[in-house]
């Protein structure tokens, strides 16, 4: 068997799922984009998506839920200035594609916009950060349920105070194809898995909860005995620690945040404020502050979509741009924002590989990938 370069392989997979079964090829994509460019637009693109999901949950040794779903469709977008026209369809066909294209081309009538020509196809640059496998097919249903049963047995064996165990397994196989009016073709095959465990411990009438879990862009083989044991130990330890915990005192105090879940605070308090659309519209606390000090010395915040196997990483974003490692705050100084194509154009900067869509039925927005703060030089004490 002759192996192909990963970018070409992903494009072939996307075409086999999103074009070929519906009698479509690149000529049909070019025709739809040509329909849009009959009016003056700044940008135009087609976004095809195929998503297959499966989930299992176990409680008290019984399978509580099992789910499986398939969703597919195409979103068609035209952008003129700050205006966006968007249509989508779960019917992937030439007729639906052309109908959506004719619908969105009505957006543009402003004289200052330019006509976009549909160029010859060119394959977008892409990274290879995770395997292009279908994690759902890596184990059969009985083995997946048995894996959750193993989690429960391990948790109950850890301590007699463990009264209840809940375990869940979620898998997703997501394939996207992007065709832009500039001729760019991009594709990605995105596996995603997560194993979670929640433990309830009871002692002297008091019940407390502990949880753990993890996952990323790989197959279910990641959850070997050592990994499962680590998750179980963390969940049981948290529940037992909570049994002995006393209420925290009220009032202001100095705290030290370690790595891990405290990153949610960074994500919510800082990350969203650094997204390009909020700053372009002036609604962020960081608007217009590039080059200014916005944090203490030693604080460096990055948004990095290039970390191998991480759930926030992308080979290409949902506009076909290569993901990047973007320094947002460096030593306390604001260096930039995360951008999709439209906001980057309007703000006169380059896209950062952060164009994200909720699904084919939604327009892209500049949103985070893996956002984190670098370690400093201070002793926790």
Q: What is the DSSP string of 32-53?
A: HHHHHTTS--SEEEEEEEEEEE
pLDDT of residue 68: 97
Residue 94 has pLDDT above 70, yes or no: yes
CB 178 within 8 A of CB 186: yes
Q: How confident is the model at residue 257 (pLDDT cuts 50, 70, 90)?
A: confident
Residue 201 has pLDDT above 70, yes or no: yes
CB 46 within 8 A of CB 29: yes
pTM check: above 0.85: yes
pLDDT of residue 1: 40
For the segment 132-158, the average pLDDT, to the nearest whole number, is 96
Residues of the chain with pLDDT > 90, as a percent, come to 86
For the segment 219-233, the average pLDDT, to the nearest whole number, is 97
> Rounded to an integer, what distance in angstroms lies between the CA atom of residue 176 and that of residue 264?
27
pLDDT of residue 119: 62
Which domains does the chain carry?
A: 6-244 (3.30.2290.10), 263-373 (no CATH)
Average pLDDT of the chain to the nearest whole number: 93
For the segment 140-152, the average pLDDT, to the nearest whole number, is 96
User: What does residue 358 show for φ and ψ, rounded to 5 degrees?
Assistant: -65, -35
Residue 82 has pLDDT above 70, yes or no: yes
CA distances from 179 to 134, 276, 363 (A): 23, 23, 14
Residue 358 has pLDDT above 70, yes or no: yes
pLDDT of residue 118: 56
pLDDT of residue 117: 55
> Rounded to an integer, what distance in angstroms lies between the CA atom of residue 79 and that of residue 86?
9
For the segment 289-316, the average pLDDT, to the nearest whole number, is 96
Q: Residues 3-17: pLDDT tens digits? A: 578 999 999 999 999
Q: How confident is the model at residue 112 (pLDDT cuts 50, 70, 90)?
A: very low
SS3 56: strand
């Amino acid at each position: 068997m002759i192996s192909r370069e990963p970018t070409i392989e992903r494009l072939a997979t996307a075409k086999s799922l999103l074009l070929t079964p519906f009698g479509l090829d690149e000529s049909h994509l070019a025709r739809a984009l040509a329909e849009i460019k009959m009016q003056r637009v700044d940008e135009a693109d087609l976004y095809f998506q195929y998503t297959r999901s499966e989930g299992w949950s176990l409680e008290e040794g019984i399978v509580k839920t099992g789910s499986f779903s398939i969703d597919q469709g195409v979103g068609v977008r035209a952008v003129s200035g700050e205006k966006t026209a968007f249509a989508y369809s779960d019917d992937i066909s030439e007729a639906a594609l052309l109908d959506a294209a004719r619908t969105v081309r009505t957006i543009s009538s402003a004289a200052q916009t330019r006509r976009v020509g549909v160029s010859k196809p060119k394959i977008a640059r892409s990274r290879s950060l995770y395997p292009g496998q279908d994690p759902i097919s890596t184990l059969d249903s009985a083995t997946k349920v048995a894996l959750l049963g193993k989690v429960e047995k391990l948790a109950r064996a850890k301590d007699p105070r463990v009264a209840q165990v809940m375990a869940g397994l979620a898998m997703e196989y997501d394939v996207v194809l992007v065709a832009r009016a500039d001729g760019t073709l991009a594709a990605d095959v995105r596996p995603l898995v997560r194993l979670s465990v929640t433990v309830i411990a009871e002692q002297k009438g008091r019940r407390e909860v502990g949880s753990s879990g993890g996952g990323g862009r790989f197959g279910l083989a990641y959850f070997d005995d050592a990994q499962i044991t680590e998750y179980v130990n963390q969940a049981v330890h948290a529940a037992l620690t909570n049994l002995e915990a006393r209420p925290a005192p009220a009032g202001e105090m100095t705290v030290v945040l370690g790595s891990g879940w405290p990153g949610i605070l960074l994500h919510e308090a800082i990350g969203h404020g650094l997204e390009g659309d909020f700053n372009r519209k002036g609604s962020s606390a960081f608007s217009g502050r590039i080059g200014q000090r916005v944090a203490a010395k030693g604080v460096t915040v990055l948004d990095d979509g290039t970390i191998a196997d991480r759930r926030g990483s992308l080979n290409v974003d949902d506009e076909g741009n290569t993901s990047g490692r973007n320094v947002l705050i460096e030593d306390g100084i604001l260096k930039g924002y995360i951008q999709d194509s439209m906001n980057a154009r309007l703000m006169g900067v380059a896209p950062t590989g952060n164009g994200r869509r909720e699904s084919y039925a939604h327009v892209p927005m500049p949103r985070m990938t893996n956002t984190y703060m670098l370690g400093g030089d201070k002793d926790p004490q």
